[in-house]
Structure 1
Amino acid sequence: MAKMSKVELYAAIRRDARSGMASRALQHKHGVGFRTVQRALASVWPEPRKKLPPRKTKLDPFKPLIDQMLRVDLDAPRKQRHTVKRIFDRLVDEHDAVEVSYPMVRAYVAARRPEIKVEAGRGPPNAFVPQSHQPGVEAEVDFGDVTVVLAGEQVKCCMFAFRLSYSGKAVHRVFASGGQEAFFEGHVHAFRVLGGIPTGKVRYDNLKAAVAQVLGFSRARVETERWIAFRSHHDLEAFYCQPGIGGAHEKGGVEGDIGWFRRNHMVPVPEVGSLAELNEMVDLWDLQDEARRIGTRPRTIGEHFAIEQPLLKALPDEPFETGLLMSLRVDRYAQISVRTNHYSVPVRLIGRKVRVMVHASELIVYDGQEEVARHERLLAKAGSRLNLDHYLEALVRKPGALPGATALEQARAAGRFTPVHDAWWAAVCKAHGDRDGTRALIEVLLLARHMSHEHLVAGLASALRAGALTADAVALEARKATEADQRESLELPKEPAKADTATVTFLTERRMAHLPPDTRPLPSVAIYDQLLRRRHPGAERPVEGEGS
């Protein structure tokens, strides 16, 4: 049974009193005293509870001293005003306030300093003024931290948010970091989703991706060159908020949106295999959020956005290259260094300079106009991402370096070097020795440049079951798997195969099977017999040295 409120108790007492119950009976029925019954009969509203006087603290005797220090600060130079630490030290040193703690002083100063400023007429209280926004004019941008389980590992990523101020329509994108590439790519993605660009100002923090230097306490900023070019390309007008907590209130819409999105869509922590998979989920969540209402608005986000979208500026005809182009030299380990991380390239490029296009989630390496490597960006610092295929030419000459290669370890972790590879490698090494067996494995790995990974693994498995420990046999079985998939895609009848048996067709037999039948007669040497000298039965070979 729910507990009765005091108003309900008074109503019950008054109702029973009207029915003729005496005061003592009312006290007994409702479990209250004489005074409560009299108050209920006198008024339908209970008397408000008396507010208790503030509890005394050890700081009370020193509060006038703290107030005096804060009043002196009103006329002191800005850089020579009392900090909380200085106030606490003076109380202890000059007034023997040994029983006062630092948190007590800090809490009192935080509440009292703005009050003293208002009392002295030096400024109004910290008030928030409601704002109205015109459709298609303003927007707000910010980054927020999100934690995700990426490929089984918990990592912290950066979520870009672009929010239209009128409708509240927001576009989100998760990146490995909050660098300039992510900043630009987030804008491009938001413009594409929204179908246009705001005609007025877009509010920003003083992000390093956009601001190189904050000039004093004004709104003037020294912007980065690439950001100036990006704004000019998209005809974007930037408005920079004040540094610190005051600036957060100037773009409170996107600040609150990031928190709401994180609480409603990132709880529990999402588990994904890649950032691309996560961003597909984020795009779906953004569409679903169009059906919700913000606060007490009568219309949904989607309904307001339908009004706002036609008023946005059109997108430029030509795209802007958001990636950062770098020229790097390949070291002797066939690696390049990008933002403290190392990425592999083919060993033939050692000692040469290559061009690297760095994007927010990946980087592409070019040798001239040819793309030679593509890597997903690493999340942590001082890491390495190595592709085993880049080292195969060197491993052919140094097969003994393969078992302990870092690239091989990463290939195993990524699932590119499977247990089937290991089993075939062990079998061929047992049959032909470690050196020749490892070279045979490298020849098999080179086949991956011309056929799919799945078909190559299937070929390894078939060759292993049949005991065919050569790269040619693996290539043949991989081609058979490829042709089987092609027949399935074309819905052609399959070749009959015996169950639980592994057959290997040698290359010579396979090539002969595709030739037309040979109808020529078999060769004969009979015509050459007439060229033989007829020997007499009694003739003997003359002895060497005898005369004729």
Structure 2
Amino acid sequence: MRLYMKLRTTRSQESAAAISGISVATGRRIERDPRPPSSRKERRDYRTRSDPFEGLWDEEIVPMLASAPGLRPITVLREMARRYPDRIDDSVRRSLERRIRTWRALHGPDQPVIFPQAHAPGRMGLSDFTDMSGLGVTIAGQTLHHRLYHFALVYSGFEHGEVVLGGESYTALASGLATALTTLGGAPAEHRSDSLSAAFRNLCHDQAEDLTRRFAALAAHYGMTPTRNNRGVAHENGSIESRHGHLKDRIEQALMLRGLVDFDTLAAYRAFVAGVIADHNRRHGDAIEIERAHLKALPPAPPVTWDEASVRVTSSSGFSFRHAFYTVPSRLIGHRLHLRVHDDRIEAFLAGMPVLSLPRGRAPAKTARRTTTHIVDYRHVIGSLRAKPGALAGLTYRDALWPRPAYRRAWEALVASQPVRDASRTMVALLALAHDRGLEADIAAALDAILDEGGLPVFAEIQARLMPQAASVPAVRIEMPSASVYDPLLRDVRLEIAP
């Protein structure tokens, strides 16, 4: 409008309107009343169309809202359309939403108030879990369904994250918190977490109370006061909830720069996430150093961050724990093992001495019939399997026995072309050779090469290809001399007998 009026001092209506980007009719209207709209007389309060809720608003809609304050406008609209299909349809949805919004502002119930807080350095740390499956990360081509344990200090913005393969459990929280505080070099005065509903949902009252006591003991170990926000009230943990989105965004952007969401190993992905978080902490280095001066010193002894259990090794050279079967060396059959259960591994002890560490098995997704996950190391059973190769065909954990995909391919090819008994003997012999000679990777490469060429693996040929040829031993002829040849040596010898 200002541009038009300025141009009109030297140009015609048509030219000024064209340059200003308005029509000539609008230019004439501006010239008739050059005042800005805010200075003009307000429009009289009148409707341009009939009220679609006349006779319904005060009589039916307001009583509905008063009796059930949580009703959504779309629910009210659907109910009115059901009662009065000739008057109410989706064309009045926006009008109803605006009117309900205004009514609630004037007559509705009070809404919860979020009080902004002033945070002092070293006062509060926060923990929570967030689902990371939406990033589409894969490990060696397999989708990685995982969560991220997320710790943050409110004042400085220090963050720590750890990839969690299971659910929201005490072990994941405790180990992640211990690592975060060790990295930070101190502990805040207060620690807040959510209600960990996923960890407590399927527990009885006694077990839930036990976890509560263990978490309180963990906080007391570091001298922190443990607090929890109310169930379902995420904004009470808002200082960490808001950071979830920022952390996910940083990791997603880093994946885009990387150009690939697939990682060779889980360790490589863990290192990638740690690098992204380390970059964030470097940007907040000054504030973190200020807060470090207000943190409590860490205790000298590490906390207990694992679950404990006791199992007996069965005659199958393994034990079952939480819907997963683990194999162990057969010499442990009949013994009772004490387990330390971490999020990603299980440590087994016998008589207080560490025996072995096994990767943690996860129960499969809930289906109509629960199945068992098998964590198998062929080295644990190859001795007995070598004596009973026929047991391989019907072995319950046969598919988990193969150390590499090439062995599975070889088994499937052999079973399809020859009797199962012969295929079992060949595969057991190959596993035994891999165990005895340390040729697991070499045998896998040979199997892939043979199968890619359309052939079938033959144990003798693979053994001849990989085993070094024994060198021939030269024949050595040994002639024993006659005892008489020593007589000349004794003729001139004078025996002296000591007195």
TM-score above 0.5: yes
Letter in 1 for 2:169: G
- Cα distance in 1 for partners of 2:145, 2:435 equals 36
Q: 1:359 to 1:454 in 2, by over 3 A?
A: same
Q: 1:83 to 1:437 in 2, by over 3 A?
A: closer
2:426–2:459: 8 Å Cα contact kept in structure 1? no
Are 2:281 and 1:290 equivalent residues in the alignment? yes
For residues 97-134 of structure 1, what are the alpha-carbon distances to aligned partners after superposition, in whole Å with 9 as ceiling and x for unaligned? 457689x99997999599648637x64x4443322211
Pick from 83, 87, 94: which aligns with 1:96? 83
* 1:209 CA drift (Å): 7.7
2:187–2:296: 8 Å Cα contact kept in structure 1? yes
Instruction: Name the structure 2 match of 1:396.
Output: 386
Instruction: Name the structure 2 match of 1:356.
Output: 339
- Cα distance in 1 for partners of 2:179, 2:195 equals 21
Secondary structure in 2 matching 1:265: helix
- Cα distance in 1 for partners of 2:48, 2:144 equals 47
Letter in 2 for 1:384: H
* 1:43 CA drift (Å): 4.7
Q: 1:92 to 1:408 in 2, by over 3 A?
A: same
Q: 1:62 to 1:358 in 2, by over 3 A?
A: farther
* 1:137 CA drift (Å): 0.9
Are 2:302 and 1:319 equivalent residues in the alignment? yes
Are 2:244 and 1:258 equivalent residues in the alignment? yes
Secondary structure in 2 matching 1:312: coil
How does 1:120-519 map onto structure 2 within 5 Å?
A: 123=110, 125-147=111-133, 148-177=137-166, 178-199=168-189, 201-208=190-197, 224-244=212-232, 247-266=233-252, 270-290=261-281, 301-368=284-351, 369-378=353-362, 380-381=364-365, 382=371, 383-402=373-392, 405=395, 407=397, 409-412=399-402, 414-415=404-405, 417=407, 440-447=429-436, 451=438, 453-454=440-441, 469=460, 477=468, 504-506=469-471, 509=473
Q: 1:210 to 1:405 in 2, by over 3 A?
A: closer
2:13–2:24: 8 Å Cα contact kept in structure 1? no
For residues 438-490 of structure 1, what are the alpha-carbon distances to aligned partners after superposition, in whole Å with 9 as ceiling and x for unaligned? 66435414316xx47457779999xxxxx99499979964xxxxxxxxxxxxx
Pick from 4, 18, 21: which aligns with 1:13? 4
* 1:335 CA drift (Å): 3.6
- Cα distance in 2 for partners of 1:191, 1:117 equals 46
- Cα distance in 2 for partners of 1:261, 1:25 equals 55
Q: 1:54 to 1:34 in 2, by over 3 A?
A: closer
Secondary structure in 1 matching 2:145: strand
* 1:161 CA drift (Å): 0.8
Q: 1:44 to 1:194 in 2, by over 3 A?
A: farther
Secondary structure in 1 matching 2:399: helix
- Cα distance in 2 for partners of 1:324, 1:151 equals 30
Letter in 2 for 1:184: A
* 1:140 CA drift (Å): 1.8
Secondary structure in 2 matching 1:191: helix
For residues 359-392 of structure 1, what are the alpha-carbon distances to aligned partners after superposition, in whole Å with 9 as ceiling and x for unaligned? 1111123344241451243374442222222221
Secondary structure in 2 matching 1:197: coil
Letter in 2 for 1:18: T
Letter in 2 for 1:276: A
2:126–2:153: 8 Å Cα contact kept in structure 1? yes
1:408–1:417: 8 Å Cα contact kept in structure 2? no
- Cα distance in 1 for partners of 2:300, 2:386 equals 49
Secondary structure in 1 matching 2:176: helix
Q: 1:233 to 1:225 in 2, by over 3 A?
A: same
Secondary structure in 2 matching 1:311: coil
Secondary structure in 1 matching 2:186: coil
Point out where structure 1 has 5 or more consecutive residues left out of the alignment: 1-9, 74-80, 214-220, 292-299, 462-466, 478-503, 528-548
Instruction: Name the structure 2 match of 1:295.
Output: none
Q: 1:60 to 1:159 in 2, by over 3 A?
A: farther
For residues 275-311 of structure 1, what are the alpha-carbon distances to aligned partners after superposition, in whole Å with 9 as ceiling and x for unaligned? 32222111111121135xxxxxxxx522221211221
Letter in 2 for 1:71: A
Secondary structure in 2 matching 1:166: coil
Q: 1:91 to 1:440 in 2, by over 3 A?
A: closer
Pick from 510, 522, 537: which aligns with 2:479? 522
Secondary structure in 1 matching 2:298: coil
Structure 2 length-normalised TM:
0.71
1:139–1:165: 8 Å Cα contact kept in structure 2? yes
Q: 1:416 to 1:96 in 2, by over 3 A?
A: closer
Structure 1 length-normalised TM:
0.65
Taking every aligned residue pair, what percent have the same amino acid on both sides? 21
Corresponding pairs, count: 444
- Cα distance in 2 for partners of 1:54, 1:352 equals 87
- Cα distance in 2 for partners of 1:107, 1:315 equals 60
> Max radius of gyration: which structure?
1
* 1:164 CA drift (Å): 0.8
Alpha-carbon RMSD:
5.0
For residues 143-199 of structure 1, what are the alpha-carbon distances to aligned partners after superposition, in whole Å with 9 as ceiling and x for unaligned? 110113233122321111111111122111111022221111110111122211112
User: Which structure is richer in relative contact order (CA contacts within 8 A, separation 6 or more)?
Assistant: 2
* 1:254 CA drift (Å): 0.9
* 1:324 CA drift (Å): 1.1
- Cα distance in 1 for partners of 2:480, 2:46 equals 123
* 1:406 CA drift (Å): 5.8
* 1:263 CA drift (Å): 2.3
* 1:11 CA drift (Å): 3.8
Letter in 1 for 2:62: D
Point out where structure 2 has 5 or more consecutive residues left out of the alignment: 203-208, 366-370, 449-457, 485-499
